[in-house]
Chains A and B, each alone.
Chain A
Amino acid sequence: MQTEKIQSLLSTEHGFFNSATIAQSPQDVFEFCRNNENVQKVLRDLPLNLENFLDLTLVKAEETDPNQFRIEWQNSETSKAAGTLYFLLSPAPLDRGTILIAEASFDIFDDDDSEPSDLIKVFLKRMKALAETGVIATTTGQPSGREEITFIRR
């Protein structure tokens, strides 16, 4: 997808966006990204406790051009933060899968804060991991000497 076209599809002035390449076909990634369960899994345990703020509803999922897709998730009116999450999907070069662009615009984000731009990177990375492997890498819950049972020897 051409840069100008991507820019034209990004819809908000203050949204935070980034992209990732997923090693799957655009059609498969489209099905993955429109699945609420997947989006909820990715939101879980993210910084800012986003899952507590977001109650997303799928409002649009369409093929805009052959093999190019646009998905729009909107926060419900009863949730704590108004806003929209967009996905734009297009084929990656050769056999490299799908370029997934995510744009998030929620009024809990501060325009001057760098955290949301990191957050969208983390969100995309987790989307990619879940789509490609079926799991999201974690170390939460593993053992360490910080929770030792007894000290043996130094």
Chain B
Amino acid sequence: MKALTWEGKHSIAVKNVHEPTILNPLDAIVKVTTAAICGSDLHLYNGYIPTMRKGDIMGHETMGEVMEVGSMVKNIKVGDRIVIPFDIGCGHCQHCQDEEYSVCDNSNPNFIIPEKLYGHSGAGLFGYSHMYGGYAGGQAEYIRVPYVDTNSLVIPPGIDDEKVLFLSDIFPTGYMAAENCNIKPGDTVAIWGAGPVGLMAIKSAFLLGAERVIAIDHVPARLKLAQDCGAEIINYEDIDAITDQLSFLTGGRGPDSCIDAVGMEAHGHTILNAIDTVKQKIKLGTDRPDVLRRAIQSCREGGTVSVPGVYGGLLDKFPFGAAFGKGLTMKMGQTHTQKYMKPLLDRILNDDIDPSFIISHRIDIDKGPDAYEGFNEEKDEYIKVVIKMQ
């Protein structure tokens, strides 16, 4: 089968590799119909996530048709059309029972690596480094899905792939980010990053009752989409101080909650971000957390900072004193995707939202390497790339 593989920093290849097989009786094999490239795939592309190995199959936003199931699979059958969440839950451990699937105890066979780095390990993830299990990803013609009864959402017939594919990650991620803000009537939510997750967070914040959403980015096409979603927009390159601007726009209070939908590769013209950039390039730093700094600084007293953006290591010049002094609540982490897939599918079926509005490119898998390069370099043109399998 064809698959997109990680060959090193800034190097993605199309390779012909073996098709997956059932390795455990709770597995299924799925023929991929549609996959997508995620903004967090660019962290791998740019070499910022450790423990990738040359030849790893990329991708964690995937859907397709079930071709084979293991002997212990109960709920999923051959022929089912499923969306596959990016995080892998076993469905049985205490965390999965509590719907905290992204911190499943049992799905990461390489748990010892993150345990040494973080104290405890999160769940295994598709196509996202050996630290997260080393699972082959879904930017391929076939994928093995472990614990498929837990890691699947069956899609009813007649619904286009593009309408439901983003239930695999970015829609639940944006929704959980907004839900973590504990939005109350009248609230203003500021969202850094108007990429796919940020756009989903805008839509979700309104679905959850936000009065105003303010989107912050510097890419005109993304800001235009944010505006189309109902957000007020700020191009941070047009202003001197984002915190002052947000304070002004909210009557001196600051946003009730702030969402960092950017993560470890923040852009911007602050001195601290310049330092972060240099440190990251020479491997003296792991993350560029400038958006997180701005979010903490800008949030009102007693507000909430929600972090769906991916971070990997140790954050420098982190304004914890500001967070403490203002009594902020901080919520973060990989999305418990399985918890949100069904209710958000219902939102889609109810025509509350059609997430496909973010798609900018539809490609076949052979164009994958070009798409990675374009997505990384031309953010004004590339919003979301969808890979249509033949």
Contact = CB atoms under 8 A, between A and B. Distances in A.
B216 to A, nearest CB: 36
A49 interface: no
A121 B115 contact: yes
Interface string B50-66: 00011111000000000
B136 A139 contact: yes
B285 interface: no
B109 A134 contact: no
B57 A154 contact: no
Contacts of A21: 94
Given A139-B133, A144-B56, A148-B15, A153 B369 contact: yes
Residue with the highest number of chain B CB atoms closer than 10 Å, among A121, A153, A154: A153
A137 B105 CA distance: 10
A118 interface: yes
B7 A142 contact: no
A134 B92 CA distance: 10
Contacts of A118: 112
Nearest to B13: A154
A18 B147 CA distance: 27
A125 B90 CA distance: 13
Given A21-B94, A23-B94, A142-B135, A153 B112 contact: no
A153 B23 CA distance: 29
Interface string B267-281: 000000000000000
Residue with the highest number of chain B CB atoms closer than 10 Å, among A118, A136, A137: A137
Contact of B20 (A132, A143, A148): A143
Interface in A106-154: 118, 121-122, 125, 128-129, 132-154
A145 B23 contact: no
A14 interface: no
A132 B90 contact: yes
B3 A154 contact: no
Contacts of B366: 152-153
Interface residues of B, number: 52
Residue with the highest number of chain B CB atoms closer than 10 Å, among A118, A135, A146: A135
Contact of A137 (B53, B55, B106, B136): B106
A96 interface: yes
A145 B133 contact: no
B72 interface: yes
A145 B15 contact: yes
Nearest to B22: A141
Contact of A132 (B92, B124, B133, B135): B92
A147 to B, nearest CB: 6
B106 A144 contact: no
A80 B128 CA distance: 40
Interface string B93-131: 110010000000111110110010000000010000000
Contacts of B312: none
A138 B23 contact: yes
A27 to B, nearest CB: 18
B91 A142 contact: no
Contacts of B13: 145, 151-154
Contacts of B369: 153-154
Given A23-B97, A133-B26, A152-B366, A143 B91 contact: no
B17 A145 contact: yes
Interface of B: 1-3, 5-7, 11-21, 23-26, 53-57, 72, 90-94, 97, 105-109, 111-112, 115, 124, 133-136, 140, 144, 146-147, 366, 369
24 contacts: A21-B94, A97-B94, A122-B112, A129-B90, A132-B90, A137-B24, A137-B146, A139-B23, A139-B133, A139-B136, A140-B23, A142-B20, A143-B1, A143-B17, A145-B5, A145-B6, A145-B7, A146-B55, A147-B55, A148-B16, A148-B17, A149-B17, A151-B15, A152-B366
